[in-house]
Amino acid sequence: MEEFIKLITPQDTAKLLNVKVGTLANWRSMGEGPAYTKIGKSVRYALEDINEFIAKGRVA
């Protein structure tokens, strides 16, 4: 059976990262921020990509 990747909206992603939705849009236009998927005109984020983005920002 196929597994589906859980995708969430920019609004939910912004809440998780404690940033504004506009910040996510700016990051996308600059090629920064978490990886995202476009489905038609909709932008969605995979939880695993958000976690990877957070992990890359950790400072030891």
Q: What is the pLDDT of residues 6-60, one digit of tens each?
A: 999 999 999 999 999 999 999 999 999 999 999 999 999 999 999 999 999 877 6
In 10 A of CB 45, how many CB atoms?
A: 24
Domain definitions of the chain by residue range = 8-56
Contact 46, 37 (CB under 8 A): yes
What span, in angstroms and rounded, lies between the C-alpha atoms of 49 and 59?
A: 18
Question: What's the pTM?
Answer: 0.88
DSSP letter (8 states) at residue 31: T
Tokens 């506009």 found at:
22
pLDDT of residue 60: 67
Tokens 């939880």 found at:
47
pLDDT of residue 57: 87
